[in-house]
Structure 1
Amino acid sequence: MSSIVLAVALALTAPDSCPRVREIQVVSGPALDTTPRRWRWALRWANRLHVSTRPDVVRRELPLRPGQCFDETRRREAERVLRATPFLADAEVRAVPRVDGDVDLEVRTRDEWSLRVEVAWQGGTGGLRGLQARETNLLGTGQAIGLFWEERQGTRVYGLAYSTPQVFGSRWDLALAAGRTPVGRFAASELRMPFVREDDRWAVRFEGLTSRHDFEFVLPDGPDGALRAVWRPEERQRGRVTAAVRWGRRLRSTLLGAGVSWQRLVYPGAPRAADGQPLPPLPALDTVRSTSLLLLLGQRNLVFVPVRGFDTVNGREDLRLGVEVEAGMGTTVPRLSADPAMVLQGRFFTATRAGPLIAGAQLEAEGERRLDAPPGQPEWSDVLAEAALWGYLKPTANGSTTYVLFVNALGGWHNRTPFQLTLGGHAGLRGEPRLRDPGARRLVLSLEARHHWRHWLSQLLDVGSVAFVDVGRSWAGAPTFATGSPWRISAGTGLRLAFPRGSQQTLRVDVAVPLGPGARRPQLTIGVGQAIGMTAVGGDAQLARSRRHSVWLRDLFTSP
């Protein structure tokens, strides 16, 4: 017994052997590298137009503080956290040993180009679908402000957005947006303390939205199968509060949380056709009221692998490998909901690496089990699900070519709120019209060959190209006016641009051609971000607009 007491006493009085962080020096680099002799004068002139991120802003994002223990795992985490910051393109953290055994840190960052004008364009009848002008790092503070004009569900929306990752110098994030739609106004707000560092043990999130807008769907018109776009006015108010705690080892953590969400949907006024012509009688829709309480559970077992040029043109990325499992379960509040029901949600993510191959999968699903379902009607309703499989093959580690396979399936079952998917558009088959082939389920398989080109402007921007083939179809299912489709195929080529070089922001320009019977002219599409891949998983706009509950699991481990 005495030996045990002695061992405990020695352990408590033994000096801490881990090296400690003493001083942290932050060097915020400009957005453009001026070391190359070619274009140096132009690069220096351009940098004068950009305000570098303030060192104190970088320090607040850094997950290391003076006095903390230091090891290689924490150094890599610090780089990953900084690279995930939207106003930083890259970051390097270097440990400088001291004579006393501790370390000083030298943090070097490189900014994204903060002033951005982004265009969204879709050929055919789509035309210009969005225009944004944003300053994403206002005066080096990390704050973003911008004006936007875009088409949402076929109607034009414009407004103003603002966000900051450090409210009054804290770890709280704030995002605000407001604007007008053709039938009213909208306003959205979000305040959150997210999980960012692996040492973060709790997180909380508040969110609110009020909007009057149009719900767009496609209506078959006549025996020839022609389609008409129809707009049904919709008023939506929703809010949520979630909080969570987590414990465990770094990247091997368990999460427990709770959330309350409420949503109200009203369908005032009569539907109207986009072409202005009269419509046949359409079924009326009841007001939806839903307040739900959810218990959130999660488990993760991950590693992050730094790579270059997978879903960026040639920027540094941190690939997430391992397993994440998340679940939400709860009930609606009887007096605050139209229907008593159990609410279930689930998400499963896995990814692995085998030599030059990286593969992964993700499944998300949600639904309600109605406790008062009438006889003959299904107990399960408003079921929404999305599954994705992906694979990346880079034959050589430092090569310029990457092959990407992507499979995306999504659908809805027994939906009581308006629901419809289409096969065409950005999230479906490239080259097909946006409102092509309405249905209840959709499956798209895509194959891309991406190539990063070394060129005479390489000191200014990254340039890449893609060649792709898309194959897909839709199924009719239960939603009103869903027709389904046969298998369709399209092929095309595209350009990928990132400014400045090494940026994680990608401009996408694609030209796609529908193949097979009834083929049409090529369509040009312009947007931001890759069309397929890990960064394109989740968040389908047509699926999200029909959700009955605003507490969702996709970003549970980064914020509840």
Structure 2
Amino acid sequence: MDSSQYQVRSIKINQLPIFDPKNPREDTRLFRWINRVHIPTRQQVIRHQLLFKEGDTVDSRMLSENERLLRQQKYASDAKVRVLNRCDTAVDLEVVTREVWTLVPGFSFHTSGGDNSLDVGLRDSNALGSGQRVSLFYSNDANRSSYKLAFENPNIGNTHRVIKLQADKSTDGFHYLAEYELPFFSLDADKAWKFGYESTKEMLSQYQFGKRVTEVDRRHDVAELSRGLSTGLVNGVTTRLRYGVRDEDYRYAPGTKRPAPAAMPDDLHLTYPFLELESIEDKYAVAYNISQIYRTEDLLLGRSYRASIGFATNSGGRLILNGQYSDTLLSRPKMLLQWRADWRARWDPSAKEWEDTLINANLDFHRGQTENRTLYMGLAASKAINLNSSEQLTLGGSTGLRGFDSHYLNGDTMLKFTAEERMFSNYQVLQLLRIGVAGFVDVGRVYGKTQWGAGRTFSNVGLGLRLAPSKTDEARIIHIDLAYPLGNNIPGGKSVQLVVEARGSF
């Protein structure tokens, strides 16, 4: 469809099965049985995710946005909105989605630099084809064991209203979440609101050479009431304004298994109004083999930012800043350069200093060499200012240096560089898993207040296997990395590190 506007005469929903019967490798007795027993997404669930109905006026931009919205849903691995027939200014549209298996007995194991974690449970991100999500999990890691129960309805009564409920009970505390909101569900949405409450109690550990040395018991409660307004998409840019009130309460106590830090954090209670500005440039592209393995990816190439400011008059007063920014510096065939930054900061006017402030910046470069081979290079920097003693800026394991223990280094400033030669394969193991391979080099260093290694560069080399499920709802990739540290005089010695984890990208 061109940029002209057309009136929608009819809408046909075409739901493709999980396994393609036209593909000889998937046309087997087992896969045909799975297609039969799978409960498909109800057509009304898909229809209520559309930004248009019969009689409405649409253009190519709106259809492209709707494809992105459908691909974001847990019940579809891919989506396409296409024109079946065109007569003058009227069109018949077909919405095509590819079903995925959503009832999954979950099992995942994560090991990184000496830290192990295990998740076992059951989740369904499309319960009985309704689009609603439920999950029950048991988790065990180096810090805690916990049971997790969660429920989400992403479209209550077909109004785009969302409800989220979560309850976690762990050996060191709990996590409760309740949210009811109307999000900005499209670029043209003109209003939003939110009621939310979250309470977390957990034990936070502090590290030295990857070993836990101290710990702090922290409870954090936050409640929010907010509203958002927008003029919609104007000249290719959506601008949104949110305002509301937020109440945050931090309470700290010594841990029970390890000593407390020399200086315990002070309790803090903040109640403040806030104002948030958000902007999104409607500039997207469809790509493959960037962060996923042969799975449709929607890349935001335009500028996007969100910045909020609040001021609390209690607890001596605090200025609270939060935000993020991203943009594309270079976008050419087989070449992509993007950067992003995020920050959280608090200014204490009585002490005239920043506290609990953390700023992160990332630069990502992708250079396509062949259809299935890409060079990736990433540069990351973080700066911490007066973090309280319950938190640390660390480097090691899955945080960036895969050849070292998790939390191996800590300091006030962190720099990290990664280079990866990535190979993507369209071959599927049992038609269920796509395979990728990566050879990588990690280089990093920390500066500032650290027990050892400040200003010294650490590096490692390694090989990794990537496994991407192709028929389930999660666009997550299993990483299996073997990494070896380079250099001498490394406390704890040098040994091959195994990192196994599930991540959202290659």
TM-score, normalised by the number of residues in structure 2:
0.90
Q: C-alpha offsets along residues 254-280 of structure 1, whole Å, 9 cap, x if unaligned?
A: 22221321111112344532xxxxx48
User: Kindly tell me: are residues 124 and 252 of structure 1, through their superposed partners in 2, closer, same or farther at Cα, counting changes over 3 Å?
Assistant: closer
Q: Does 1:473 align with 2:451?
A: no
User: Kindly tell me: are residues 21 and 226 of structure 1, through their superposed partners in 2, closer, same or farther at Cα, counting changes over 3 Å?
Assistant: closer
* 3-state DSSP of counterpart to 1:527: strand
Q: C-alpha offsets along residues 48-107 of structure 1, whole Å, 9 cap, x if unaligned?
A: 342221111111112222221122111211111111223211001111235463111111
Cα distance in 2 for residues equivalent to 1:292 and 1:258: 11
Report the aligned-residue RMSD: 2.6
* 3-state DSSP of counterpart to 1:47: helix
Q: Does 1:40 align with 2:12?
A: no
Cα distance in 1 for residues equivalent to 2:217 and 2:498: 30
* 3-state DSSP of counterpart to 2:66: helix
1:328 alignment counterpart: 308
**Aligned with residue 433 of structure 2, among 448, 461, 466:** 461
**Aligned with residue 163 of structure 2, among 146, 164, 174:** 174
Cα distance in 2 for residues equivalent to 1:175 and 1:507: 27
**Aligned with residue 362 of structure 1, among 340, 343, 361:** 340
User: Kindly tell me: are residues 251 and 230 of structure 1, through their superposed partners in 2, closer, same or farther at Cα, counting changes over 3 Å?
Assistant: farther
Contact kept? 1:382, 1:415, Cα under 8 Å: yes
Contact kept? 2:116, 2:141, Cα under 8 Å: no
**Aligned with residue 363 of structure 2, among 389, 405, 429:** 389
Contact kept? 1:90, 1:109, Cα under 8 Å: yes
User: Kindly tell me: are residues 281 and 529 of structure 1, through their superposed partners in 2, closer, same or farther at Cα, counting changes over 3 Å?
Assistant: closer
* 3-state DSSP of counterpart to 1:455: strand
Cα distance in 2 for residues equivalent to 1:502 and 1:408: 31
> CA shift at 1:416, angstroms?
4.0
**Aligned with residue 102 of structure 2, among 114, 133, 139:** 114
Contact kept? 1:118, 1:528, Cα under 8 Å: no
- Higher fraction of strand: 2
2:503 alignment counterpart: 529
1:201 alignment counterpart: 190
Q: Does 1:24 align with 2:1?
A: no
Q: Does 1:95 align with 2:56?
A: no
Q: Which runs of 5+ in 2 are unaligned?
A: none
> CA shift at 1:214, angstroms?
0.5
> CA shift at 1:285, angstroms?
3.1
Contact kept? 1:118, 1:527, Cα under 8 Å: no
The residue identity in structure 2 corresponding to 1:175 is: K
**Aligned with residue 428 of structure 1, among 388, 400, 415:** 400
Contact kept? 1:32, 1:500, Cα under 8 Å: no
**Aligned with residue 402 of structure 1, among 374, 380, 383:** 374
2:245 alignment counterpart: 260
**Aligned with residue 516 of structure 1, among 464, 487, 495:** 487
Cα distance in 2 for residues equivalent to 1:229 and 1:131: 29
The residue identity in structure 1 corresponding to 2:360 is: E
Task: Report % sequence identity.
Answer: 26
The residue identity in structure 2 corresponding to 1:83 is: R
Contact kept? 1:476, 1:483, Cα under 8 Å: no
1:165 alignment counterpart: 154
Q: C-alpha offsets along residues 97-118 of structure 1, whole Å, 9 cap, x if unaligned?
A: 3546311111110123213324
* 3-state DSSP of counterpart to 2:418: strand
Q: C-alpha offsets along residues 176-202 of structure 1, whole Å, 9 cap, x if unaligned?
A: 111212133321122222222222111
2:218 alignment counterpart: 234
The residue identity in structure 1 corresponding to 2:147 is: Y
Q: Does 1:61 align with 2:61?
A: no
Contact kept? 2:11, 2:92, Cα under 8 Å: yes
> CA shift at 1:307, angstroms?
0.8
1:7 alignment counterpart: none
The residue identity in structure 2 corresponding to 1:324 is: S
* 3-state DSSP of counterpart to 1:40: coil
1:257-296 aligned at under 5 Å gives the runs: 257-273=242-258, 279=259, 282-296=262-276
Q: Does 1:210 align with 2:188?
A: no
> CA shift at 1:401, angstroms?
1.0
Contact kept? 1:23, 1:105, Cα under 8 Å: yes
Q: Does 1:495 align with 2:479?
A: no
1:246 alignment counterpart: 230
Cα distance in 1 for residues equivalent to 2:261 and 2:90: 76
Q: C-alpha offsets along residues 294-315 of structure 1, whole Å, 9 cap, x if unaligned?
A: 1112333231101112111110
User: Kindly tell me: are residues 123 and 25 of structure 1, through their superposed partners in 2, closer, same or farther at Cα, counting changes over 3 Å?
Assistant: same
Q: How many residues align?
A: 495
Cα distance in 2 for residues equivalent to 1:270 and 1:122: 25
Question: Which region of structure 1 is more displaced relative to structure 2, 73-82 or 151-160?
Answer: 151-160
User: Kindly tell me: are residues 200 and 28 of structure 1, through their superposed partners in 2, closer, same or farther at Cα, counting changes over 3 Å?
Assistant: same
Contact kept? 2:401, 2:444, Cα under 8 Å: yes
Contact kept? 2:210, 2:406, Cα under 8 Å: no
Contact kept? 1:177, 1:189, Cα under 8 Å: yes
User: Kindly tell me: are residues 457 and 423 of structure 1, through their superposed partners in 2, closer, same or farther at Cα, counting changes over 3 Å?
Assistant: closer
Q: Which runs of 5+ in 1 are unaligned?
A: 1-16, 274-278, 533-560
Contact kept? 1:294, 1:329, Cα under 8 Å: yes
Contact kept? 2:468, 2:477, Cα under 8 Å: yes
Q: Does 1:344 align with 2:321?
A: yes
TM-score, normalised by the number of residues in structure 1:
0.82
* 3-state DSSP of counterpart to 1:65: coil
Contact kept? 2:161, 2:181, Cα under 8 Å: yes
Cα distance in 2 for residues equivalent to 1:130 and 1:453: 28
The residue identity in structure 1 corresponding to 2:342 is: E
> CA shift at 1:330, angstroms?
2.5
1:139-150 aligned at under 5 Å gives the runs: 139-150=128-139
User: Kindly tell me: are residues 422 and 281 of structure 1, through their superposed partners in 2, closer, same or farther at Cα, counting changes over 3 Å?
Assistant: closer
User: Kindly tell me: are residues 474 and 102 of structure 1, through their superposed partners in 2, closer, same or farther at Cα, counting changes over 3 Å?
Assistant: same
The residue identity in structure 2 corresponding to 1:528 is: A
Contact kept? 2:149, 2:166, Cα under 8 Å: yes
1:308 alignment counterpart: 288
